[in-house]
């Protein structure tokens, strides 16, 4: 079993897992004769939509993180106890890499392949269950997936949810690392 507090082990496992989602997206694309990248255009407009689309998600994360009431407490506890030690072992650019791989791979699968196959609703039900930390987190992740799917539709570009997802993950990782390090420093 890899030691996930070891930076290299964590990065290798994260890249392998997230990369496998891109492979699944391509396999689905091949099987159903669709191109998961069909709606991807590398243009400034999609980038702007993605950066702007991050703002509501990160504000909700900051609010839930600052005031972890009820079931939000379990989510914060999971982030700090389970994911936190792995993230703390990383450098900022490692976190950026993991966030980028997650944003690209997950959006390729859920928005690029599954949304055209299953529709907005069902692709995000699956997105929610793919993030099964707690029942509440499944609902939140499904709603965020719906938001990202809507962002793709609004921008008419897969780049928008890729950027929003990756940037959100990166910023959330930084918050978790900062809090975990602050918790380690207090006696």
Q: What is the DSSP string of 156-180?
A: TSTHHHHHHHHHHHHHHHHHHHHHH
What is the model's pTM?
Answer: 0.94
Residue with token string 């995000």: 124
Domain ranges of the chain: 7-185
Residue whose tokens read 């918790």: 183
pLDDT digit string, tens, across residues 37-93: 999 999 999 999 999 999 999 999 999 999 999 999 999 998 899 999 999 999 999
Query: Is the CB of residue 137 less than 8 Å from the CB of residue 75?
Result: yes
């Amino acid at each position: 079993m890899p030691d996930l507090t070891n930076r290299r082990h964590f990065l290798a496992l994260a890249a392998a897992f997230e990369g496998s989602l891109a492979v699944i997206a391509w396999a689905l694309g091949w099987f159903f004769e669709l191109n998961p990248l069909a709606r991807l255009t590398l243009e400034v407009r999609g980038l702007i939509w993605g950066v702007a689309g991050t703002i509501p998600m990160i504000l909700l994360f900051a609010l839930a993180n600052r005031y972890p009431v009820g079931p939000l407490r379990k989510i914060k506890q999971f982030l700090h106890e389970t994911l936190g030690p792995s993230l703390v072992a990383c450098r900022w650019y490692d976190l950026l890499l993991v966030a980028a791989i997650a944003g690209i791979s997950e959006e390729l699968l859920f928005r690029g392949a599954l949304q055209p196959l299953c529709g907005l609703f069902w692709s995000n039900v699956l997105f929610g269950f793919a993030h099964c930390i707690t029942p509440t987190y499944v609902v939140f992740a499904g709603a965020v997936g719906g938001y990202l799917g809507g962002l793709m539709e609004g921008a008419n570009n897969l780049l928008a949810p890729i950027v929003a997802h990756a940037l959100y993950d990166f910023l959330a990782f930084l918050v978790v690392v900062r809090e975990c390090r602050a918790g380690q420093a207090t006696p």
